[in-house]
Amino acid sequence: MIPQKTIEELISKHASLEKDLSSGDIDKKLYAEKSKEYSDLNDIIENAKKYLSFESDKFELNKILNEKNSDNELKKMAENELNDLKLEYEKNEKKLKLFLLPKDEADKKNAIIEIRAGTGGLEASLFASDLFKMYEKISHKKKWNVELISISRSEAGGLKEVIASIKGNNIYSTLKYESGVHRVQRVPDTETQGRVHTSAATVAVLPEAEEVDVKINESDLRIDVFRAGGPGGQSVNTTDSAVRITHIPTGLTVSQQDEKSQHKNKAKGMKILRARLYEFERSRIDKERSQDRKNKIGSGDRSERIRTYNFPQGRVTDHRINLTLHKLEEFLEGEAFDEMIESLTLQAQEESLNSLN
């Protein structure tokens, strides 16, 4: 049961914001901030009011049910109304609990996505390429902007590794459940016997961190420069433009060589490093908070196999929630992606609610 005081504070906050916003006497920056807060509260304010009035409404209906002189028809109506009231109370309580769950401050951030070919040789690199194309199509549909940071191609035309920045609205909240091992089962073009092969690619989705999110001391960095070339470099040049940045306290290392300018490579490398350090710290805090439990969803374990794409049967299965969609082609085109994400989000919310009980 949610404390009455908590609900009253939500209603009071909503009324206060409404008064401030309608006054016309508010700073522009504060107006945008308060408008967003008001809009968020608006979505649950009716639920809050009905939740608060439950006890008094129930009391009135019980009075009718316990009244000796009430006719049977009136009692039957009151009984039905009481059952509906209890169901509505449970729905309102769940919605309010979800609203009151601690917010992930990273949810509204842009994201950096890293895709790497895993086991399976050239076929794994082709699958990594397919995954990147899928995320590009999803981004296009959602009007997100994809900016390539680095890319390393394989001989077969696939991708050994690709790192990209995705910008738009609520990127991380949508893509954060994609981190993990993605497995593919299909017959490779090179397979003459028609045998199904299994290969894999890893996906890491990191919230893009600003300088204010992560404080990096120059003294904690070791920066090495070297000549770009070979796998990973889009072009081989004769200057020492490639950059390797090592964060000494954590041992995290980032190499960047796609640009011909050392300065640009360093800027891109620092963007990746900031994101990895931000995620490193978030993971450390999460582990401290949840020593006694581990949710299946969003656990952050990148070695965990999260999804299988089975081409012979045209299905995609998410192993964390045991959900199978028999629409693999649509999924890879970005058409059925939201259906999967909504199911993952709901399951993650259920786990969070259960952890409070």
Residue 74 lies in a domain: yes
In a domain, 105, yes or no: no
pLDDT over 70, % of the chain: 91
Within this chain, do residues 165 and 232 fall inside the same structural domain, yes or no?
no
Packing angle of the helix pair 45-52, 72-100 (nearest 10 deg):
130
Beta strands across the sheet bearing 305-310: 145-153, 159-167, 111-117, 197-207, 180-186, 305-310, 315-318, 323-325
Same domain, 94 and 168: no
* Alpha helices for the chain (secondary structure H): 4-23, 28-42, 45-52, 54-66, 72-100, 121-141, 171-175, 262-289, 328-332, 337-356
At 356, the pLDDT band (50, 70, 90 cuts) reads low
Residue 260 has pLDDT above 90, yes or no: no
Q: Are residues 120 and 79 in the same domain?
A: no
On whether residue 42 sits in a domain, the answer given is yes
Q: Which domain holds residue 92?
A: 4-100
Residue 54 lies in a domain: yes
Nearest to 158 by CA among 131, 137, 184: 131
Please answer whether residues 41 and 6 qualify as being in contact, where contact means their C-beta atoms are separated by less than 8 angstroms: no
If asked whether residues 46 and 175 sit together in one domain, one would say no
The answer on 78 and 43 residing in a single domain is yes
Asked whether residue 165 falls in the same domain as residue 304, the answer is yes
Rg, C-alpha atoms of the chain: 26
Domain termination site, one of 232, 255, 289: 289
Which of 48, 68, 100 is the C-terminal boundary of a domain? 100
* The pLDDT of residue 289: 58
Per-residue pLDDT tens over the stretch 156-201: 789 999 999 999 988 999 999 999 999 999 998 777 678 899 999 9
User: Which CATH number is 228's domain given?
Assistant: 3.30.160.20
Which residue intervals of 26-177 are DSSP H helices?
Answer: 28-42, 45-52, 54-66, 72-100, 121-141, 171-175
213 assigned to some structural domain? no
Instruction: Give the tens place of pLDDT for each residue, 195-215.
Output: 899 999 999 999 998 877 888
Residue at token pair 């090495």:
224
**Same domain, yes or no, for 149 and 191?**
yes
Same-domain check for residues 176 and 95: no
The number of CA neighbours under 13 Å toward the Cβ of 31 is 8
Q: State the CATH number of the domain containing residue 165.
A: 3.30.70.1660
Specify whether 9 is located in the same domain as 158.
no
**305 falls within a domain:** yes
Q: Choose one of 100, 125, 141: the last residue of a domain.
A: 100
116 or 105, higher pLDDT: 116
Query: Same structural domain for residues 327 and 198?
Result: yes
What's the pLDDT at 70? 72
Q: Does residue 78 lie in a domain region?
A: yes
Q: What is the b/e burial string over 207-240, where b = at least 16 CB atoms within 10 angstroms of the residue's CB?
A: bbbeeebbebeeeeeeeeeeebeeebbeeeeeee
Signed CA dihedral, 160, 165, 167, 169: sign only: positive
**Is 93 a domain residue?**
yes
Helix and strand counts by DSSP (H, E) for the chain: 10, 11
169 and 35 assigned to the same domain: no
Q: Cα(3)–Cα(189) distance, rounded to whole angstroms?
A: 61
pTM: 0.74
Quote the number of domains for the chain. Answer: 3
The dihedrals phi and psi of 324, each to the nearest 5 degrees, come to -120, 130
For 7-61, the pLDDT digits (tens) are 999 999 999 999 988 887 888 778 888 888 898 899 899 999 999 999 999 999 9
CA 335, CA 338: separation in Å to the nearest integer? 8
- Tokens describing residue 304: 């965990």
257 and 181 share a domain?
Answer: no
